[in-house]
A and B are shown apart, each in its own frame.
Chain A
Amino acid sequence: MRPVLSLRDLDVTYPNGVVGCAGVNLDVMPGEVLGLVGESGSGKSTVLNAIALTAPVTRGSARFESPKRGPLALFELNGQDRRWLRQREIGMVHQNPRMVLNLDLSAGANIAEALLVADWRHYGRIRERAQELLLRVEMDLARMDDLPRRFSGGMQQRVQLAKALANSPALLLLDEPTGGLDVSIQARLLDLIRELSRELGTAMLLVSHDLEVIRLLARRTLVMQRGRVVEAGLTDQILEDPQDPYTQLLVHSRLT
């Protein structure tokens, strides 16, 4: 089985000289949820943004198995192909849904937008697909034509998730998807993401600073510190028997 995404020797140095990450290798296998954990500033979001093609990659390669176009060298694509991929095959869920949702458009229109940029042109079918997606993320269809501005944070996050899944991406990138939410909403959203991963078989790369989130969702995990991967392996193993001193610190500083 070939990985959906294969990242080799990734270096990201920002224009101001700050090193975002260095020498990162990872593989995301079909259908798996891979966790990426570490403290703030450890470079996990940098890795995610590099894959989403929004961070300045200094060195390294990424091979993406595109369902439509076959294997692609991500970092060698031009702007138009990058956009094509982001709009169809690599989905992204941000911590803050306002990064993605247009709060002046209805929830349905926000999802419709994702379908429209992927050349859907049949109103009835767009409506149907949007309803299907909203049901998928357990939203009340009565709210479909309401503005997300009036939604709770949890509901906004569900709409964002529905939008990210609109074109059935081969890879879903999740950046602290439950970051701003209270504990009970967080738990329900995590359940939902786990279900989606199981039912849709979408490969996911999950970034979180929260070991609980990682433990619930990710079978395999990478631990990052200061831009480098310090430990990688099965999540349970890492949590039960951390080898790297930083991982040990991280695991033991968990509130229980």
Chain B
Amino acid sequence: MSYSFAFLDEQSKRCVRRALLKAVALPGYQVPFVSRELPISYGWGTGGIQTTCALLGKSDVLKVIDQGADDSVNALNIKRFFAKTAGIRTTTLTAEASIIQTRHRIPEERLRADQILVFQVPYPEPLRRVEPRETETRRMHAEADYGRMYVALYEDIVRHGEITLPWQYPALVNGRYLLSPSPIPRFDNPKLHQADCLFLFGAGREKRVYAVPPHTDVHSLGFEDHPFRVESFAGRRCSRCGSTDTYLDEVIVDADGRRQHQCSDTAFCLRRRQDPAVPRGWGHDHPAGVAVEARR
């Protein structure tokens, strides 16, 4: 049995590309797209896969990350899928990849202008948390009526004294559209701001794509007196490579329940073990220290 290059037929790929172009032209705006059938079910990265289908050329090198790791089942299967249907080369090295498909993380190594990061997005609508009606969320986006999004943050501060929202932390793109950065930890939000690479987001079930083009402002929401902050791993280090500036997972290592921390980005951890001086390359500074307002 033979496949079209990268599985999808050419017409469908063109449909996806058209939607992606529109998404790049309107940073953060959710563009509806066709969302074709794939040999896997919704919830397993169909939005990201279709985006990757539309992007792949014969010379591309693909890396796939799931939970920060290159060797998890989902990541391996998606890589195998594209190796089989497009015959392209795959890699685990961030620097070597031209397209990186991801679910939970943005690599610790800064991406270059010639690289594209494709997100598999389960929940594209950041406002769904505060508004169940689709007609209403569309109006809210159209009018940049984002005040209610802050109510969730307000309640968080009342309860915990600070904003604790761990993932899908909403951010304002280019001063206009509110975006859900997919289930990445808020640790990764600052990486979206003024990056060199292109970020594309695909939601298969919800049939939407959106984008953050290179060198675009992305400000995570916060209050004037409680600005956005990333998680702190102060006092902890990766038990494998010794890093103190990366996103750490806590893992149970033996039957006695002993815990250790290790880098969630396995590829980067490996590089650090070979050369402890490798820089992350993303600045930690986030200009969203103050509250930002959407333009109306």
Contacts and interface: CB of A to CB of B under 8 A. Distances in A.
Contacts of B150: 116, 121
B293 A109 contact: no
Interface string A109-131: 10011001111011110100000
A119 B293 CA distance: 8
A118 B224 CA distance: 15
Interface residues of B, number: 18
Interface in B22-64: none
B109 interface: no
A112 B143 contact: no
B96 to A, nearest CB: 43
B226 interface: yes
A123 B143 contact: no
B157 A116 contact: no
Nearest to B144: A80
A116 B225 contact: no
A105 B223 CA distance: 19
A113 B151 contact: yes
Contacts of A124: 225
Given A106-B155, A109-B154, A118 B147 contact: yes
Contact of A83 (B143, B157, B225): B143
Interface residues of A, number: 19
Interface in B257-296: 291, 293, 296
Contacts of A76: none
A79 B138 CA distance: 13
A108 interface: yes
Contacts of B154: 108-109, 112, 116, 123, 126
B224 A121 contact: yes
Contacts of B155: 105-106, 109
Contacts, number: 51
B interface secondary structure, majority? loop
Given A113-B148, A116-B150, A119-B147, A108 B158 contact: yes
A80 B155 CA distance: 27
A136 B7 CA distance: 65
Nearest to A80: B143
Contacts of A119: 147, 293
Contact of B291 (A109, A118, A121, A145): A121
Given A118-B147, A119-B293, A109 B158 contact: yes
A63 to B, nearest CB: 24
Contact of B151 (A79, A105, A121, A122): A105
Contact of B147 (A116, A122, A145): A116
A124 B225 CA distance: 7
Nearest to A108: B158
Nearest to B143: A80
B71 interface: no
A121 B145 contact: no
Contacts of A122: 223-225, 291
Contacts of A123: 154, 157, 223-226
Interface string B126-151: 00000000000001000101011011
B145 A117 contact: yes
A112 B149 CA distance: 11
Interface in B62-76: none
Interface string B201-213: 0000000000000
Interface string B145-171: 101101100110110000000000000
A125 B145 CA distance: 21
A126 B226 CA distance: 12
B120 to A, nearest CB: 30
A112 B145 contact: no
Given A121-B293, A126-B154, 9 more contacts: A83-B143, A112-B154, A113-B151, A122-B223, A122-B224, A122-B225, A123-B224, A123-B226, A124-B225
Closest 3 CB pairs of A and B: A117-B147, A121-B291, A116-B147
Interface of B: 139, 143, 145, 147-148, 150-151, 154-155, 157-158, 223-226, 291, 293, 296
24 contacts: A79-B143, A83-B145, A106-B155, A106-B158, A108-B154, A108-B158, A109-B151, A109-B154, A109-B155, A112-B151, A112-B154, A116-B148, A116-B150, A116-B154, A117-B145, A118-B147, A119-B147, A121-B223, A122-B223, A122-B225, A123-B154, A123-B157, A126-B154, A126-B223
